[in-house]
Amino acid sequence: MIHDKIIIALDTDSEEKARLLVEQLGDEAVFYKIGIVLFTKVGPAFIKEMKKRGKKIFFDLKFFDIPNSMALASIAGVEAGVDIINYHCLAGEESLREVQMRVAEYCVKGNYKLPLLIGVTVLTSVEGDEQTRARVLSLCHVAKNAGLAGVVCSPMEVAAIKKIYGKDFKTVVPGIRLPEGKLDDQKRAASPSIAFKNGADYIVVGRPIIQATNPKDAFQAIVQDGLNAL
């Protein structure tokens, strides 16, 4: 179901706005991203509330710290019920491997579902060129060797990543814009249909939905464009 593949980024500093958006989008929107801005405002209680409503959560804090701190923060996310957690690949293969092992072990012992643990490669606000592509693929190598389940990457690198690392290596893809939409600060962007055709497992959409006059209509436009690829 395509709705499970579309992650709405709650990139707002207002708990009231976040709640309103979730209400406006209703039952069809099932997956939300909570990043550093909103999480700093609302904390884990908001995540637990969203989980009780049947929503999935991408815990987008882009951890980049010593292994012990990243592992403990991840475990807090596990206890809150998050579905995806991400880490900067620049934290290094050894550190990420330790985090992955500790989180997996905690989930087994506590009978928790293991979230998708994924690596952040190069942000989509960075221009795309051969050097950027090479950096992304190099960081994918770090994530794969560390035992992570996949990476965050732009729509432009998905096909190459799938070719090298296989279809089971997950790609979570921001930088999504409809063909007629504003790019804002996104440099490596593409439509939902292009991202899915390239092999994206999930797409992340923020401003095209949350800044729309009618967020529900904007969400449906993303869904319809994405269906062209499936």
Binding site, annotated residues for substrate: 11, 33, 60-69, 124, 177, 186, 206-207
Phi-psi domain of 147 (left: phi exceeds 0; alpha: psi -120 through 50; beta: other): left
AA identity, residue 152: V
Do 25 and 216 contact (CB within 8 A), yes or no? yes
The secondary structure element, H or E, covering residue 100 is helix 93-110
CA distances from 153 to 70, 121, 132 (A): 21, 6, 11
Check if 60 is active-site.
Answer: yes
DSSP letter at 190 equals: B
Which of 60, 83, 201, 225 is flagged as catalytic? 60
CA atoms of 191 and 208, how far apart (whole Å): 11
Which of 65, 187, 197, 216 is flagged as catalytic? 65
Check if 56 is active-site.
Answer: no
Residue stretches of the annotated binding site: 11, 33, 60-69, 124, 177, 186, 206-207
Which of 62, 187, 197, 216 is flagged as catalytic? 62
CA atoms of 38 and 59, how far apart (whole Å): 11
Check if 41 is active-site.
Answer: no
CA atoms of 9 and 179, how far apart (whole Å): 19
Q: Which residues are catalytic?
A: 60, 62, 65
